Chains A and B, each alone.
Chain A
Amino acid sequence: MLHIFCPHCFELRSEEEFHASGQAHIPRPLDPNACTDEEWGDYMFFRDNPRGLHHELWDHVAGCRQYFNVTRDTVTYEILESYKIGEKPQFTDKAGTAKTATTALGEKV
């Protein structure tokens, strides 16, 4: 059971309060009608399946009903950050993982 920081409630909450909504940062093409079948197919159906950092879209359905993004390590399941829609992730594939990230994320210590 993941413990997920909601960037709107500013708290860690249990996974059961959330819905996972797939990979983050898949913007809808501005003019879908102008997309080739291949471009449209990419948007619709193709997603990353990394071993390592993954940016995910979650919805805090039982709480504030807000969508937000999470960066999660698919190997350790560690969540490195939560960030609002429209914000950029601090942790990306290439930057490597900083083990201290989660403590910055609302764990009251």
Chain B
Amino acid sequence: MTTANVYQQRPTTGARAESSLHHADLASLVGKGRKNAGVIVREKKLLGHLTLRGDGHDAAFAAGVHKALGIELPGALSVVVKGETSLQWMGPDEWLLIVPSGEEFAAEQQLREALGDLHIAIVNVSGGQQLLELSGPNVRQVLMKSTSYDVHPNNFPVGKAVGTVFAKSQLMIRHTAEDTWELLIRRSFSDYWWLWLQDASAEYGLSVQA
């Protein structure tokens, strides 16, 4: 009897993959924007995304996560980054683990192994979302145009991550370095976000980074 179906969902044979902004062909726009653009956008695509559910108040759960990932379970509204892996608090019983592309299957197995019989859930959501990195001197203005959440560094320091309303939909905002932010965007909304960001950053200039 198996309690959960754990399945290698990403092909290992090098099949063609398309990010949710594939159609926008961002690669062809690299170097074409305004010089000294106020906002620089970079797609962090095709990474492994796992939703992790469990009881954050249970020491055994936190210990198991630490054992599997070497990362302390982050508390409310924070994201911990370790190399190319990050673990983000999404809710009192929910975290998002992002790992390099293709490592999500092993990560899920390690977590399940480390968490044993605890009541948990791990869900592969890699195909459904991706990160969009925004950097540059005017990112904050673009964020202010888009979300009612206070992005002033006093309120939104590096290492914080919040779910909020953005334009007419919802997403997660992660503050990863002084002038660098990440948006966690859902696949089906990606085109909307891309159009929105182009429009909202028009007055500052937008450029695309590989």
Contacts and interface: CB of A to CB of B under 8 A. Distances in A.
Direct contact of A and B (CB under 8 A): yes
Interface of A: 8-11, 13-14, 16-17, 61-66
Given A14-B148, A65-B91, A9 B162 contact: yes
A66 B163 contact: no
Q: Say whether chain B's binding surface is mostly helix, strand, loop, or mixed.
A: strand
B65 to A, nearest CB: 18
Interface residues of B, number: 13
Contact of B149 (A14, A61, A65, A66): A14
Nearest to A63: B163
B36 interface: no
B77 A62 contact: no
A49 to B, nearest CB: 29
B185 to A, nearest CB: 14
Contacts of B94: 64-65
A47 B206 CA distance: 52
Given A17-B170, A63-B164, 12 more contacts: A8-B76, A9-B162, A14-B148, A14-B165, A17-B164, A61-B170, A62-B163, A63-B163, A64-B76, A64-B92, A65-B90, A66-B92
